[in-house]
Amino acid sequence: TARIESVAGMTLRDWMTGNILSGFAANPAVFAYNGMSGWGLVNCNDADLAGYAAKLADEAIKALKAKEG
């Protein structure tokens, strides 16, 4: 299986981070308290939110690489 390393001049990480941020913006419920995000995400600033999206992208890439073997 071929792995995509970049999309439209962006790294896969950049692309995933942008899509995660889009999801945050499209679904305000992500800011509600839950066991995964907690109140720290509710009270975060823009830099915190972008950093969290990048962290999720990193974890997704790690999972994809582990799945590939």
Residue 35 carries which DSSP code? T
pLDDT of residue 49: 81
Average pLDDT over residues 10-14: 90
Pairwise CA distance, residues 66 & 59, whole Å: 10
Which of residues 64 and 6 earns the better pLDDT score? 64
The answer to whether the CB of 6 falls within 8 A of the CB of 12 is yes
Helices (H), 7-45: 12-26, 38-42
Kindly report the pTM of this predicted structure.
Answer: 0.71
CB 20 within 8 A of CB 53: yes
Tens of pLDDT, residue by residue over 17-56, are 999 888 887 876 665 555 555 555 666 777 878 888 899 9
